[in-house]
Amino acid sequence: MNSKKCARSVIAALLCGAVCLPALGQDKAKDAKAPNENDMMAMMMELMKPGENHKLLAQWVGSWTYSVKSWMNPDPNAPPMESTGSAVFREAMGGRFVINDHTGKMQMPGPDGKMTDMDFKGMGIDGYDNARKKFVFSWIDNMGTGIMKMEGDYDPSTKTFTYRGEEEMMPGIKTKVRVAVKITDKDHHTMEFYEDRGGTDFKVMQINYTRKS
């Protein structure tokens, strides 16, 4: 069996499992006709294609400057911490994903406990999962060792992406989070990050982006 035929068989087997297994054990499924290999391959090929939702993400491609306001102090009357940086967004995997690289400064407690500027680097991956019909997002940075994963939807009436997920900054302590990315125009967008605190969303960060090129 050559490699192409082998790959075709593997994909067909995987799709068959994904399509057929949920039907097992259901009496009404006895008469259902299982999709043949050609149908499953056609389905797979269609799901592989980037589409209109991927074009929505492509609007971010380019170089940007950004300004950050963060509310980390438990005192609600404390002023936000502020910082700035730059980001580059680029397409990957034939337009299926958009990767962004962020660099900047972030205030963190130093050895003496006082706030000091530290170099910040972060990387995110945006995509749209055709099979799950969800926008997906993951994030890593040099301030931690975990990978944040989120998924969400886009509201064309408000030009806003809304992602939801969960973070675990401390062992065993999980917090629900929400991210809203609002497109102002082709050269400006805003990201707001919220944490669930006792059933109420509390905004802990806002990032304003301005296009450089």
H/E/C letters for each residue in the chain? CCHHHHHHHHHHHHHHHHHHHHHCCCHHHHHCCCCCHHHHHHHHHHHHCCCHHHHHHHCCCEEEEEEEEECCCCCCCCCCEEEEEEEEEEEECCCCEEEEEEEEEEEEECCCCCEEEEEEEEEEEEEEECCCCEEEEEEEECCCCCCEEEEEEEECCCCEEEEEEEEEEECCEEEEEEEEEEEEECCEEEEEEEEEECCEEEEEEEEEEEECC
Query: Distance between CA atoms of 61 and 86, rounded to whole angstroms?
Result: 13
Give 31-56 pLDDT, tens digit per residue: 456 778 888 888 888 899 999 999 99
In a shared domain, residues 202 and 134? yes
Do 42 and 58 fall into the same domain? no
| Same domain? 117 vs 135 | yes
What is residue 118's predicted lDDT score, i.e. its pLDDT? 87
The more confident residue out of 27 and 36 is 36
Q: Which residues pair with 66 in a beta bridge?
A: 85, 209
120 lies in the same domain as 203: yes
Rounded CA separation 207/192 (Å):
6
Q: Give me the pLDDT at residue 13, please.
A: 47
Q: What is the pLDDT of residues 63-91, one digit of tens each?
A: 999 999 999 877 778 889 899 999 999 99
> Average pLDDT for residues 14-37, to the nearest whole number?
54
Indicate if the pLDDT at residue 23 is higher than 60: no
Report how many domains make up the chain: 2
**Contact indicator for 161, 180 with CB cutoff of 8 Å:** yes
Per-residue pLDDT, 60: 97
Which residues fall within 8 angstroms of residue 36, CB to CB, at 6 or more apart? none
Domain that includes residue 187, residue range? 52-211
Q: Are residues 196 and 121 in the same domain?
A: yes
Q: Are residues 58 and 160 in the same domain?
A: yes
Residue 10: pLDDT band with limits 50, 70, 90: very low
Same domain, 68 and 152: yes
- Domain check: are 103 and 31 in the same one? no
Residues 75 and 43 in one domain: no
Do 43 and 71 belong together in one domain?
no
Q: pLDDT digits over 113-139, tens only?
A: 787 888 999 999 999 999 999 999 999
CATH of the domain at 206: 2.40.128.20
Distance CA 11, CA 38 (A): 11
Residue 192 and residue 100 share a domain: yes
Task: Looking at the structure, tell me whether residues 70 and 126 fall in a common domain.
Answer: yes
